[in-house]
Amino acid sequence: MIEFFNFKLIMTVARTICLGFLTVIAVGTILLMMPFSTSNGTWNDLIVALFTSTSAVCVTGLSVVDPGTYFSFWGQLFITLLVQIGGLGYMTTTTFLILLIGRRFDMRQKIAIQQALDRPGMSGSAQVIRSIIATTLIFEITGVFLLLPAFVPEYGWSKGLWLAIFHSVNAWNNAGFSLFKDNLIGYQSSFLVVFIITMLIIFGGIGYQVILEMYLWLRDHILKKSIKRQRFSLDFKVATSTTVILLLIGFVAFFCIEIRNPETFGYLNFRAQVLVAWFQSVTPRTAGFNTIDIGKMTSAGLFITIALMFLGASPGGTGGGLKTTTLRVLTSCTKAILQGKEEVLLYDRKIAISLILKAVGVLVGSVATVILATILISLTDPRLDFIQILFEVVSAFATVGLSTGITASISTTAKLILIVTMYVGRVGILLLMSAVLGDPRPTRIHYPEENLLVG
């Protein structure tokens, strides 16, 4: 009876999280439709408001209008707040508000935090939320101060400060909204802007648990100079190593492929080429800022970007996609099969069958979502190239925000498909299926085993 109650509670929590995101999107849509949210003071178009709100809450950054000129200061502020809520997560935000008014957690809220943050247990939930909020504020405020020298001399203190706040919040939350018409192309040669934005993207997407372990290591070994050896978790090892590998692969690939493209890298000097290649390696994981015209990239460059977008960031962070841990579990499964092993190992640790099944489920669900959305948009907008449609869909599903420039020109039906795709990518395919289909009750019946030809 207790087991049944727990499963019912988990199912209810899954629906609460999914409906919570929908509620925030609806509120954001209403706010962005108001006349004071647009620069011309008129009522906003429903599709524009809905698309922008969904993109902000899902920390994507795709936009059918130019946020810097289309929206007023209040509209831009609402986008920033929606991005902040979306990056922290619905349950994290509501739980923080509960802490502020001094209420205690009940069982449902503890399970909600466990599922929303993908944590193994429910203990210390309040402390985790405080740490997440503190980490977010520290990084975003630091980003604001470091970006001021880039924006204030050109735009003055008031506008320069707002530009720093807007881009710092968007970078940390791995959203790609920018108040510049050309996104960050105008700062492609600025080491300061490229360095600060990419660091915010990386740390925002790598996960709060990883940052906490980094902090504890720095505190004990650098500040206190402790000789005690730090034992990092498997999450830390997998997230950091996979992130570094993907960043290096992306940097080398973009530099080698696009260096001969006169419309992206070719016209730049060597220093700028290095900065652009680095930025283009970071931003698909999963923030939609760009320092080159994505639509002018080579087909190879676009396909590499699609792959990096699909793989995404790490669990517990603000990014989306398949996630680095899922990738490592799947590649470790392949390695075990090729070596003839019956156990999947990662850093001398055995991976549970339940995690392997979860990784396979995430992969299959993600691929199915991308394929379905791509087919539907291909039917509604047959004039578009396949690579452009696939790029847009993967960008939406992985909550990246990069675009080849077709977002504003696609049909209303295609925009609605992208809205659904962004939502599915943000809440997570497994959580959404759990909320829709019901609780996955474990079976006590075991069937006979039989071989099957595979591969």
- Contact call for residues 277 and 254 (beta carbons, < 8 A): yes
Instruction: Look up tokens 């509620």; give the residue.
Output: 23
DSSP class of 229: P
Which of 105, 112, 25, 125 has its CA nearest to residue 431? Answer: 112
CA-CA distance, 122 to 105, in Å (whole number)?
11
Query: Which residue type does 81 have?
Result: L
pTM: 0.90
**The pLDDT of residue 116:** 52
**The pLDDT of residue 378:** 96
**The pLDDT of residue 9:** 44
H/E/C letters for each residue in 253-304? Answer: HHHHHHCCCCCCCCCCCHHHHHHHHHHHHHCCCCCCCCCCCHHHCCHHHHHH
Rounded to 5°, the CA angle 239-243-246 comes to: 140
Alpha carbon distances (Å) from 424 to 171, 256, 277, 314, 345? 21, 34, 30, 17, 30
Q: Count Cβ atoms below 10 Å from residue 95 Cβ, excluding itself.
A: 26
CA-CA distance, 293 to 264, in Å (whole number)?
7
CA-CA distance, 301 to 276, in Å (whole number)?
13
- Contact call for residues 405 and 295 (beta carbons, < 8 A): yes
- Contact call for residues 3 and 437 (beta carbons, < 8 A): no
Tokens of 453: 């030809």
The set of residues, in sequence order, having a beta carbon less than 8 Å from that of 147 and lying 6+ positions away, is 163, 164, 167, 168, 192, 193, 196
Instruction: Look up tokens 């006590």; give the residue.
Output: 444
DSSP string, 336-393: HHHTT-SS-EETTEEPPHHHHHHHHHHHHHHHHHHHHHHHHHHHH-TTS-HHHHHHHH
Query: Which residue type does 361 have?
Result: G
CA-CA distance, 163 to 149, in Å (whole number)?
11
CA-CA distance, 187 to 390, in Å (whole number)?
28
Which of 332, 180, 308, 210 has its CA nearest to residue 252? Answer: 308
Alpha carbon distances (Å) from 164 to 56, 167, 170, 243, 332? 18, 5, 10, 26, 41
**The pLDDT of residue 16:** 76
CA-CA distance, 397 to 312, in Å (whole number)?
10
- Contact call for residues 143 and 40 (beta carbons, < 8 A): no
**The pLDDT of residue 5:** 39
CA-CA distance, 368 to 372, in Å (whole number)?
6
Query: Which residue type does 227 have?
Result: I
CA-CA distance, 276 to 274, in Å (whole number)?
6
Burial class for 288, CB neighbours closer than 10 Å (0-12, 13-18, 19+): buried
Tokens of 220: 């004990």
Residue-wise pLDDT tens for the chain (455 aa)?
434 334 444 446 677 778 888 999 999 999 999 999 999 999 999 999 999 999 999 999 999 999 999 999 999 999 999 999 988 875 566 555 555 545 555 555 555 555 555 555 545 566 777 788 888 999 999 999 999 999 999 999 999 999 999 999 999 999 989 999 999 999 999 999 999 999 999 999 998 888 888 888 888 777 666 666 678 889 899 999 999 999 999 999 999 999 989 999 888 999 999 999 999 999 998 888 999 999 999 999 999 999 999 999 888 788 889 999 999 999 999 999 998 888 998 988 899 998 999 999 999 999 999 999 999 999 999 999 999 999 999 999 999 999 999 999 999 999 999 999 999 999 888 878 877 776 566 667 778 888 887 76
- Contact call for residues 288 and 175 (beta carbons, < 8 A): yes
Query: Which residue type does 395 have?
Result: S
Which of 312, 453, 454 has its CA nearest to residue 394? Answer: 312
3-state secondary structure (DSSP) of residue 399: coil
